[in-house]
């Protein structure tokens, strides 16, 4: 990777991935691209930045050509809960945007990273130790676009030789960017409310177990996969990865070890609860471990301790 484009760079993953890539490959070699959401000042000031809609194929191709891009981390998409509110828009952005990226990569010889999701699975998928290769019949538009994206990336690799690679991310927990409309957003919101008010009302049921990952591990995984020896990759699009699996009740109990007065209540959002209920409880990530050496650094206790410290400082309470 010499010249890198990050689409969706102002989002939850993109804002941190861009900075990590700049630290590793040089700030001038990583072009951040956003649309709609304003960028963090650090993101905009630390390296090149541009704004465009990934649905505009001509602009995308011009950017790739002008900056001599050889690797695209394509993160621009609408997430699960927002996708259910605006399914036509989600399809347009998630699928047409990806197709434009793959076409630009085909023409200009770029490698492509595409993040899939736990949402690519559905109620018919084995919920415990979900296999790498299994039935994928998602119940959400977001999940449908992720499965379609996996297949489209595989097609471009087989048909045109594009170096496409991807990960099925679990719920992601970040102390930098705010959530963007995902079903697992409670696992970020809860820390802000714990520090600010000492109470949080969760939109998922207390015993809803889902795979999760702390953002530093998510960033490491993306870079790790894209720098791995492609000859050893059998799956490519997309690898199951996880770091921890817990319920809102278990997360609250871990927070209470640091903030004994913290309390949690439950105001269930039927839409997001139905989405969560259709997802696996825990994925089997042995393929990622075997094919490119995946290992997470953060489990639940270490993540909670670090999140509370960072959020307290961020809110001026540290």
Q: Tens of pLDDT along 98-152?
A: 999 999 999 999 999 999 999 999 999 999 999 999 999 999 999 999 999 999 9
Work out the pLDDT band at 273, boundaries 50, 70, 90: very high
Question: Average pLDDT, stretch 279-295?
Answer: 96
* Location of each CATH 3.90.25 domain in the chain: 172-211+244-281+298-314
CATH fit for domain 172-211+244-281+298-314, picks 2.60.40, 3.90.25, 3.90.120, 3.30.360: 3.90.25
Q: Which CATH architecture has domain 4-170+214-240?
A: 3-Layer(aba) Sandwich (3.40)
Query: pTM for the whole thing?
Result: 0.93
Determine which of 9-13, 115-119, 254-258 has the lowest per-residue pLDDT on average: 9-13
- Active-site pick, 142, 186, 200, 214: 142
* Location of each CATH 3.40.50.720 domain in the chain: 4-170+214-240
Cα–Cα dist 313/146, whole Å: 35
308 has a pLDDT exceeding 90: yes
Question: Average pLDDT, stretch 43-53?
Answer: 92
192 assigned to active site? no
């Amino acid at each position: 990777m010499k010249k890198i484009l990050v689409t969706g760079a102002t989002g939850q993953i993109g804002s941190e991935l861009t900075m990590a890539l700049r630290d590793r490959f040089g700030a001038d070699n990583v072009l951040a691209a956003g649309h709609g959401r304003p960028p963090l000042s650090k993101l905009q000031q630390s390296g090149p930045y541009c704004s465009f809609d990934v649905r505009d194929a001509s602009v995308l191709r011009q950017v790739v050509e002008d900056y001599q891009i050889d690797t695209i981390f394509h993160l621009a998409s609408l997430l699960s809960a927002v996708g259910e509110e605006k399914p036509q828009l989600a399809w347009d952005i998630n699928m047409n945007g990806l197709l434009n990226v793959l076409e630009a990569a085909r023409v200009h010889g770029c490698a492509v990273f595409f993040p899939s999701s736990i949402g690519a699975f559905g109620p018919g998928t084995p919920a415990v130790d979900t296999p790498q290769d299994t039935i994928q019949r998602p119940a959400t538009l977001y999940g449908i676009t992720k499965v379609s994206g996996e297949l489209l990336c595989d097609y471009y690799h087989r048909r045109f030789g594009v170096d496409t690679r991807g990960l099925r991310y679990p719920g992601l927990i970040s102390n930098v960017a705010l959530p963007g409309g995902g079903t697992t957003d409670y696992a970020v919101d809860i820390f802000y409310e714990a520090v600010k008010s000492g109470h949080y009302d969760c939109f998922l049921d207390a015993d809803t177990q889902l795979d999760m990952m702390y953002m530093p591990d998510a960033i490491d995984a993306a870079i790790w996969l894209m720098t791995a020896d492609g000859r050893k990759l059998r799956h490519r699009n997309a690898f199951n990865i996880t770091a921890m699996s817990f319920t809102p009740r278990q997360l609250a109990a871990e927070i209470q070890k640091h903030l004994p007065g913290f309390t949690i209540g439950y105001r269930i959002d039927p839409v997001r609860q139905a989405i969560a209920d259709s997802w696996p409880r825990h994925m089997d990530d042995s393929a990622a471990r075997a094919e490119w050496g995946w290992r997470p650094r953060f489990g639940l206790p270490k993540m909670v301790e670090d999140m509370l410290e960072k959020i307290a400082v961020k809110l001026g309470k540290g």
